[in-house]
Amino acid sequence: MAVLPIRIMGDPVLHSPASEVDEITDEIRTLVADMYETMDLAPGVGLAAPQVGVALRIYVYSYVDDDELPWRGEIINPVLWMAPLVPGAPDPDEESEGCLSFPGERFALRRSERVIVTGVDLSGASVRIEVDGWRARIMQHEFDHLDGVLYVDRLSDADAKTVQKIARKRGWTRGGASWMPGVDDLEG
């Protein structure tokens, strides 16, 4: 297994829809194993293939809940259904999220409270996940990456301006910017 460089927001692969996986090959299995290793080292709760420069509809996730119960898996060619959003502004204390492709920052973003995701796992078995709360947020965030959308693309105008200032200051507006988990320190 290998740790992969994580692409930063200016990279074009992050802004284009990813392609479906036609067949689960050894190459795909290696990619998924490398994605788990990269996500764990980053550390993150999810990682989509476009974030490591691979334009395929795959993401991995890993989360330990308040009861210390692990929740981990991969979804290939996911389909997402969401409950309607609750109107109103997001609560910065309860609805903030970050992204490994915009590291070191968090912004409030309203997401659907409940989702269903279907797809397949590495063995080709059907997967159906019905979750709410933080897990639903993870599913929506990673699914967005497969459609070429970063969470910062969904922010309010004021936060979007802040994002652009940070991105310009750090040189993240151009393609090719990346960081290596375990090597680069990109906090703040």
Q: HSE of 104 in the Cβ direction (CA atoms, 13 Å)?
A: 14
The pLDDT value given to residue 117: 98
pTM (2 decimals)? 0.94
Alpha-carbon gap, residue 39 to 34, rounded angstroms: 9
**Which whole-number Å values give the CA distances from 16 to 23, 57, 75, 159, in the listed order?**
21, 11, 19, 22
Q: Which of 37, 97, 105, 142 is catalytic?
A: 142
Alpha-carbon gap, residue 119 to 125, rounded angstroms: 8
The pLDDT value given to residue 19: 98
142 flagged as catalytic? yes
Asked if 116 and 128 count as a contact pair (C-beta separation under 8 A), the reply is yes
* pLDDT tens, the chain, 188 aa long: 899 999 999 999 999 999 999 999 999 999 999 999 999 999 999 999 999 999 999 999 999 877 888 899 999 999 999 999 999 999 999 999 999 999 999 999 999 999 999 999 999 999 999 999 999 999 999 999 999 999 999 999 999 999 999 999 998 988 888 999 988 765 44
Rg (CA), the chain: 16
The pLDDT value given to residue 186: 57
